[in-house]
Chains A and B, each alone.
Chain A
Amino acid sequence: MPELTYREAVRDALAQALREDESVFIMGEDIAEMGGSMAVTQGLLEEFGAKRVRNTPISEIAIVGSGIGAAIQGMRPIVEIMYEDFLTLSMEQLVNQAAKHRTMSGGQVKVPLTIRTQGGAGWSPGAQHAQQLEAWFVHVPGLKVVFASTPEDVRGLLWSSIYDDNPVVFFEHRTLYPLKGEVPSKLEPIPLGKARIHREGEDVTVVATGRLVHEALQAAEAAESEGISVEVVDPRTLLPLDEETIVGSVRKTTRCVTAHEAIVRGGFGAELAAVIQLGAFDWLDAPIERVGARFAPLAFAPAMEQWVVPHAEDVLDAIRRTVARSS
């Protein structure tokens, strides 16, 4: 199997969709000549031309909003919002328009729009370039929400998002772009709403997203040396959510830790905990632990930033607490 970085995997999905389907086009800030601020779209302008690889003004309302209109007219636009912090600028279009057109029209229109964005801490950008806001969008019926953590997943899930007939908010994590991983030689679409079990275990399930999938896998290794067997599950799609796989895993292990880089309070872990307690209450041997960022705008100085966001040792501590509580 070939190896691609997470960045190359995103690019490959974009390029293949652009190559095979005239209705696909991409637009966003600095995505053409510059190749995107994360270098994801490098080379696409040269292959597909300026009509289908469109630089836009700094204009998040118009980027998302024009994507909506083109999608309703039968195109499959993929728009890029450079940092997910800037999704805030386009919230009206995402929440009131993209998500609601189908219902408001009584099913007359569909909005096959993909909104790619990225974020994440670990490089001291300060408070406005590193947020993890995926949970906000899980609250909005009509949207789908994807957060991929590996090259294989990001390629297969992006493909499915592009070809989904609904607006999909597609989260990438900045620190994962250089991550290498094996991918199938031929692109295999990964259905939205299917979790991935990264590692099987017996004692504790860690349900992790984005960068924290990798932190959780590290924590699982460390826990194993302490005699604790950890299962790591990545939902991959937050909306719709593969409740069956997640609840099934917790019924087996009887303990659960949720882990994401986003702030704990009101984070996706809260939704997971609610789903899990309802589906696995009689199986649970410990309260569900939530790992995430501390409740503060992200401070700039590296030492403060590193203290605010979670790492493998935070996941490991949470794993230990769930086991200590019930053994």
Chain B
Amino acid sequence: MATVEEKAESGGRRVSEEVLRGFFREMLLIRRFEEKVEERFRAGELPGFLHVAIGQEASATGVCAALAREDVIASTHRAHGHTIAKGTPVEKIMAELYGKVEGCSRGYGGSMHLYDVEVGNLGANAVVAGGMPAIVGAALAFQMREEKRVAVAFFGDGATNTGTFHESLNLAQLWKVPAIFVLENNGWAESTPATQQLPLPVDELGKRAAAYGMKLLEADGQDVEAVYLAALAAREHALAGKGPVFLHLRTHRLTGHYVGDPQVYRDRDELKQERETKDPIRLLGARLELRDEDFAALDAEVTAEVEASVEFAKAGTDPKPEDALKYVYA
């Protein structure tokens, strides 16, 4: 949870109900998008390797809401939510998943390489931690040019075991660049639980930031308001020239690692319980005391948006095979 101190750092802002309702809509849009992706993959319509962010909608929504359009992000293999939250229309994402020219990466990237530079999305990355150093470099460019922008890297707990992660944090803190490292800690590295990949308790991964003397902010990743406030505080800290921030969000992956993952490694009862108690959309819905008819109306709206994205994607243009060589060099 965002601490009182953090809320104070962010100017003691309260999040209005109107804003929270906006978050709710976006999180529901992400959820329905992800469910549609699972459905269309199982129907055999989507090629490739897909990872959905069901259960992690609050971190994407809360963090990106705290950013300005000119701020940049680098995402992970679990990228759909971040991409939607940073402002790419769902039809461009769905078209990408169908491999169409109208896709946000023109059919060259796919699910794990969603880009949209116009809205500050520098790309999702299929190598765990692979996008982190470039975020340090982007932040360095902003610092050198004295631009009031931040660069944000999303990554998971699995990434915190890589050398890439440690080199990125070290350099970012050394040079005090305006970067935010958003740890979406879902406690799983693919199928491997925290106990088999982390030498410290899963909730204590913030200590890895402390090792570099980096500012640490922590929030409940299932509470979008807490995420948003912490991200605002992180952005203010970074823009004030005080150096990068490590934003630790404890979250829950309520599905498999990839679409089609049978999750043989996961305790069924535990997963069921997580779905009932840790679903960020349910949690916010309860808090907003949404009436059934309000929810139904909102749901119908975002579902229609997602359906339209599928129609848009299916009607899209297939790239010419020989265009595979088009962007090898600038």
Contacts and interface: CB of A to CB of B under 8 A. Distances in A.
Contact of A66 (B109, B123, B133, B328): B133
B168 A65 contact: yes
B105 A108 contact: yes
A90 B327 CA distance: 23
A106 B109 contact: yes
Contact of B105 (A59, A71, A73, A104): A104
Q: Which residue, A106, A108, A142, has most C-beta atoms of chain B within 10 A? A: A106
Interface stretch (A92-100, A194-202, A212-220): A92-100
- Which of the four size classes fits the interface of chain B? 35 or more
B136 A66 contact: yes
Contacts of B116: 108
A321 interface: no
B171 interface: yes
Contacts of A56: 171
A142 B328 contact: yes
A72 B326 CA distance: 19
B133 A93 contact: yes
A144 B255 CA distance: 41
A166 B329 contact: yes
B133 A51 contact: no
Given A59-B170, A104-B108, A77 B137 contact: yes
Contact of A68 (B127, B137, B327): B137
Interface stretch (B140-148, B218-226, B261-269, B307-315): B140-148
B330 A65 contact: no
Contacts of B109: 104-106
Binding site secondary structure of chain A: mixed
Nearest to A141: B328
Nearest to A71: B137
A66 B144 contact: no
Interface in B288-330: 326-330
Interface string A118-155: 00000000000000000000000110100000000000
Contact of B136 (A69, A107, A112, A165): A69
A109 B170 CA distance: 26
A88 interface: no
A107 B326 contact: yes
A260 to B, nearest CB: 24
A66 B136 CA distance: 5
A68 to B, nearest CB: 5
B171 A62 contact: yes
B327 A106 contact: yes
Contacts of A39: none
B133 A65 contact: yes
B115 A97 contact: no
Interface of B: 72, 103, 105-109, 113, 115-117, 122-123, 125, 127, 130-142, 144, 151, 163-164, 167-168, 170-171, 174, 326-330
26 contacts: A57-B171, A61-B163, A61-B167, A64-B133, A65-B132, A65-B136, A66-B133, A66-B136, A69-B134, A69-B137, A69-B141, A69-B151, A70-B140, A73-B138, A75-B144, A77-B137, A102-B330, A105-B115, A105-B117, A105-B123, A106-B105, A106-B107, A106-B108, A108-B105, A142-B328, A166-B329
Given A74-B141, A97-B133, 18 more contacts: A56-B171, A62-B136, A66-B171, A69-B122, A69-B133, A69-B139, A73-B142, A75-B144, A92-B127, A92-B164, A102-B327, A102-B328, A102-B329, A103-B327, A104-B123, A105-B123, A107-B106, A107-B327
